[in-house]
Amino acid sequence: MSFVRYKTVKGRIYAYEVTAYWDTELKKPRQKSEYLGAVEKVGDTPQKKEIIQKLQLDFGDGYLLHKFIANLDCYKIIQDIFNKKFPELFPLIYYRLCMQSAMYNAETWLEGNITRALFAGAKLSSQDISVMLKQLGNESIQREFFTQYLSKIKKSSKSILIDATSLPNSSELALNSWGHNDNGMSKQLRMLCVVDQENGQPLFYRAVPGNILDLSTLQNTLAELKQMNLSCSFVLLDAGYFSEDNTNQLYEQNIDFLTRMQKSRVQYKKLIKTELNDLISVKYATTSGKRGIFAKCVEINLFKHKAYAYIVLDPVRKGKELQDLLLEHGQDNISKMQQSDLDGCGIVVFVSSLKLEAKEVVSHYYTRMQVEQVFSFCKSDLQLLPLRKHSEETMSGYLFVQFIILIIFIQIRNAVCDKYTVEQALLFARNIKCKIFGKDVLIAEFTKKQKEIYKLCGVKIPKSCKVKIDQM
């Protein structure tokens, strides 16, 4: 049974044909809606063919993504695993890349974008998206994706970065626990991300409860990667993962590492006390990128293993930290400061199983910024927060979709980063419009900037193209 439903968006009235049906998988009645077009008043029912001849859609962003993604390693994997069962997945990915807006606005976006002509029958209502996210939260589906994805991009040896970030939220989920973050204590879950050190490409993620310390997650993460046949010979870690147990495990598994030693450790304090006297000298002076630094390598005994400590002094950072320290204590409390507080300003101690050039350690370690960028994209560019999902499966599916979007986002960023941000590129591209007449799509004229964006992405702007009439 079908009926017509009307929606008013920004003063305009749109008609939809709503059909009830029985969902054999969910074992309950559902509805699907089909867009009919704009009408003058409630009660009018436009004919599809009449509407098609009047359609003018955003073309440039959806078409660019469609062609760009088709050339990525992950495209065929996503298509093979998900496309038949989840026809809404690619349209949802396009929407999240094009629009930094809530998911409930996806259906309105789809109505005005060429994406609706590229995917037959795709629906992006809130209900459709929720059902899809819940199904994508299935562990077996995600495992199949990661197994194929990592197999496709893996090398014989892999240098990886591992880091985690807090995702504060108010959901009542088992993963959501009280934990520390940059803003103090909050209910949160932790998203741990594994990134290829060479190209910044996300490889894998895990969601863990917010009260689990980072150092407790390292071994399970490496074990999962191994189960999915991704071997790694080197891992770059933040100080939160540095512990005796993790260090011993890395040595046992013959995985080299570079990490930062916490200031609270006895060995750190000993190195500061014994190695700073001659650090500011010509023989330790060097540059790393645009930084002028002093860097010294010392062989150490690290939990009964041979290792190397790198004591690095950044003069600019030292000046700033000294200034902040003095202002923090104030004139009345300066006399209460310890000499070790002053000595430690501007100092970072790295530790590694490898002997490296001291100046290379700094640039090597700061490639870890790639992970920070990944988290920045998740939280800002991709609007990961706030999290308001209502079941473990839906939350899992939501994070999984965000991870896939992140893979694509970074590929686009790598293509256009010298000239544009991803947001700029897609906004400029969006202004290429098209008109649909029957099966024919006529593309409007495009600017020099739009042509440049397409060229950077390796996509050619067509003058016209075809769509199937039943896709509209």
Rounded Cα distance, 315 and 46, in Å: 71
Print the SS3 string covering 93-134.
HHHHHHCCCCHHHHHHHHHCECHHHHCCCCCCCHHHHHHHHH
> In sequence order, what are the residues at sequence separation of 6 or more whose Cβ sits closer than 8 angstroms to the Cβ of residue 353?
250, 251, 256, 257, 305, 307, 308
Element (H, E) at 148: helix 139-153
Say which range, 211-225, 322-336, 355-369, has the weakest mean pLDDT: 355-369
340: confidence class by pLDDT, cuts 50, 70, 90: confident
What are residue 349's phi and psi, to 5 degrees?
-115, 120
pLDDT tens readout for residues 275-322: 999 999 999 999 887 889 999 999 999 999 999 999 999 999 999 999
User: What does the DSSP 8-state code read for residue 262?
Assistant: P
What integer is the mean pLDDT of 23-32?
74
Please report the DSSP string for 66-84 in residue order: HHHHTTSHHHHHHIIIIIT
Angle (CA) 173 240 392, round 5°:
15
Q: Residue 302 to residues 76, 146, 305, 351, 389: CA-CA distances in angstroms?
A: 45, 35, 5, 9, 44
Quickly state the pLDDT bin for 249 (edges 50, 70, 90).
Answer: very high
pLDDT in tens, 94-135: 999 998 777 888 899 998 999 988 887 788 988 888 889 999
The predicted model scores a pTM of: 0.76
What gap in Å lies between CA 170 and CA 180, rounded to an integer? 15
In this prediction, residue 471 carries a pLDDT of: 45
Residue 37's SS3 state is strand
Q: The tokens of 265 are what?
A: 């450790």
Burial class (CB in 10 A: 0-12, 13-18, 19+), 304: exposed
Cis bond upstream, residue 46 (ω within 30) = no
Q: What residues form DSSP beta bridges with 202?
A: 195
Q: 400-458, pLDDT tens digit by residue?
A: 998 999 899 989 999 998 899 999 999 999 999 998 887 788 999 999 999 999 999 99
Where does the pLDDT of residue 370 fall: very low under 50, low under 70, confident under 90, or very high at 90 and above?
A: low
Say how far apart CA 134 and CA 393 lie, in whole Å: 5
pLDDT computed for residue 384 by the predictor: 56
Helix (H) or strand (E) holding 51: helix 48-52
Q: At 465, is the secondary structure helix, strand, or coil?
A: strand
**Residue, of 160 and 332, whose pLDDT is higher:** 160
**What are 38-87's pLDDT values in tens digits?**
787 887 766 544 444 447 899 999 999 999 999 998 899 998 898 778 88
